[in-house]
């Protein structure tokens, strides 16, 4: 229908306006949003190609800002404000990684990312930075390909020598990681198709969150190519990283809605430094009670899953079988992560009951 394409064109024009907007939400001060690019024209160019340096924090954060702005007009089912979109977890994650020192070179061979040297530098040797690349650079390249950033936009990522795991263009990523690209393409296509959807807002929101988490988790699982980089960290940090990855399975299964408020709330209790030998949560003295609780909860979730041969994750995904159960799942994950008084045995018993009712 011609009218649908007219509406879609207006939404994309609105997205372009948002991208160049100077209005920055107050909660994003810690992200350094005000220092990031609000428009593609602020990036350097080689001919007609926009060149992004994903190994500089402000460039990588700029990609998040532009993705949020360009998708906001399509996310009315999630709330009336730009801060209600579902992509706010991505910049919050990147900010946490910067401020906790996890983007720095763990090998010590360079000063990249070191607080007193080159803090804005993101090291390609960092496991955390590598994992984050798959949920920042690739979805950004897909957003450009799908016209979210404007018609005919071409983007290329800078890449340091000797790191073949990082793809640099849409074509390169499609060749190296076709499943990741396909999932992010489907997300952006789903956003545009939602303009014509007659679904109630709660079902439309649930469907869009499903597409988003398909892209997010496919990216995170594909980031297994980063695994060797974990050898540069302490066993305690490596264990936390693996626990964090498993915890993401539960958040994704519930199709958690990381709007800005939720993203801020869930980022707050994340550990504010790299873990070292001798750290033993919940008794790490220089971390807060909330940070110790997060580490303990992540560890518990993974240990129970391992003890059950991986069946707890499968059980959780089976329990998340409808819009209503996923809404309950989101509330339960919030309780588990943010409320130290929430009993872990209650978590397992509720999952079992939910599976029976599916």
Using an 8 Å Cβ cutoff, are 188 and 216 in contact? no
pLDDT tens figures, 70-125: 999 999 999 998 899 999 999 999 999 999 999 999 999 999 999 888 999 999 99
Tokens 């007009």 identify what position? 73
Using an 8 Å Cβ cutoff, are 297 and 336 in contact? yes
Over residues 273-280, the mean pLDDT reads 97
| 138 domain-assigned | yes
What's the confidence (pLDDT) of residue 70? Answer: 95
Task: Measure the CA–CA gap between 40 and 47, rounded to whole angstroms.
Answer: 14
| 213 domain-assigned | yes
Instruction: Give the up-direction half-sphere exposure of residue 55: CA atoms within 13 A in the CB hemisphere.
Output: 17
Task: Quote the domain boundaries for residue 157.
Answer: 24-232
| 215 domain-assigned | yes
Share of the chain above pLDDT 90, in %: 72
Q: Which two tokens stand for residue 127?
A: 């496991």
Would the pLDDT of 275 be above 80?
Answer: yes
| 299 domain-assigned | no
Over residues 272-296, the mean pLDDT reads 95
Q: What's the CA angle centered on 140, arms 168 and 63, to 5 degrees? A: 105
CA dihedral (97, 35, 9, 44) positive or negative: negative
Kind of pairing, strands 45-46 and 49-52? antiparallel
pLDDT tens figures, 302-358: 988 888 887 888 888 988 989 988 988 898 888 888 887 776 666 666 676 666 777
Tokens 């995170």 identify what position? 220
Q: Of 172, 163, 199, 170, which Cα lies nearest the Cα of 184?
A: 170
Over residues 260-273, the mean pLDDT reads 94
| 31 domain-assigned | yes
Using an 8 Å Cβ cutoff, are 97 and 272 in contact? no
Tell me which DSSP letter residue 112 carries. B
Over residues 205-226, the mean pLDDT reads 97
pLDDT tens figures, 42-59: 999 999 999 999 999 999
Lowest-pLDDT range of 8-22, 166-180, 275-289: 8-22
Would the pLDDT of 245 be above 60?
Answer: yes
| 55 domain-assigned | yes
What's the confidence (pLDDT) of residue 224? Answer: 95
What's the confidence (pLDDT) of residue 310? Answer: 78
| 173 domain-assigned | yes
Task: Measure the CA–CA gap between 251 and 330, rounded to whole angstroms.
Answer: 7
Using an 8 Å Cβ cutoff, are 77 and 194 in contact? yes
Over residues 214-240, the mean pLDDT reads 97
| 74 domain-assigned | yes
Higher pLDDT, 138 or 300: 138
Q: Compute φ and ψ for 309, nearest 5 degrees.
A: 65, 30
What's the confidence (pLDDT) of residue 28? Answer: 62
Task: Measure the CA–CA gap between 354 and 348, rounded to whole angstroms.
Answer: 10
pLDDT tens figures, 5-34: 333 444 444 444 444 443 456 666 678 988
- Count of structural domains, the chain: 1
């Amino acid at each position: 229908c011609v009218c649908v394409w007219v509406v879609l064109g207006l939404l994309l024009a609105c997205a372009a306006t948002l991208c160049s907007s100077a209005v920055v939400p107050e909660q994003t001060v810690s992200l350094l949003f005000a220092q990031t690019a609000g428009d593609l024209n602020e990036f350097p160019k080689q001919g007609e190609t926009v060149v992004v340096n994903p190994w500089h924090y402000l460039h990588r954060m700029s990609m998040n800002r532009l993705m949020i702005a360009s998708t906001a007009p399509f996310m009315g089912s999630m709330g009336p404000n730009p801060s209600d979109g579902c992509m706010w977890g991505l910049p919050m994650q990147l900010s946490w990684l910067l401020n906790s020192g996890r983007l720095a070179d763990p090998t010590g061979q360079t000063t990249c990312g070191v607080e007193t040297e080159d803090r804005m530098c993101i090291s390609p040797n960092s496991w955390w930075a590598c994992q984050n690349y798959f949920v920042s650079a690739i979805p950004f390249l897909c957003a450009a390909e799908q016209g979210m950033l404007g018609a005919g936009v071409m983007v290329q990522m800078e890449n340091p020598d000797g790191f073949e795991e990082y793809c640099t263009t849409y074509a390169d990523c499609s060749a190296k990681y076709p499943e990741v690209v396909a999932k992010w393409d489907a997300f952006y296509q789903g956003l545009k198709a939602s303009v014509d959807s007659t679904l109630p807002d709660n079902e439309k929101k649930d469907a869009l969150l499903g597409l988003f988490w398909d892209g997010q988790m496919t990216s995170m699982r594909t980031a297994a190519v980063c695994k060797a980089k974990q050898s540069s960290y302490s066993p305690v940090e490596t264990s936390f990283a693996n626990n964090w990855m498993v915890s993401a399975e539960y958040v994704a299964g519930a199709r958690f809605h990381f709007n800005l408020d939720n993203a801020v709330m869930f980022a707050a209790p994340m550990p504010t430094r790299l873990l070292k030998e001798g750290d033993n949560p919940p008794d790490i003295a220089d971390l807060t009670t909330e940070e110790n609780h997060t580490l303990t909860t992540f560890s518990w979730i993974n240990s129970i899953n391992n003890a059950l041969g991986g069946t707890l994750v499968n059980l959780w995904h089976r329990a998340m079988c409808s819009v209503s159960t996923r809404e309950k799942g989101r509330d339960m994950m919030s309780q588990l992560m943010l409320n130290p008084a929430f009993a872990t045995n209650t978590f397992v018993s509720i999952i079992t009951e939910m599976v029976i009712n599916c």
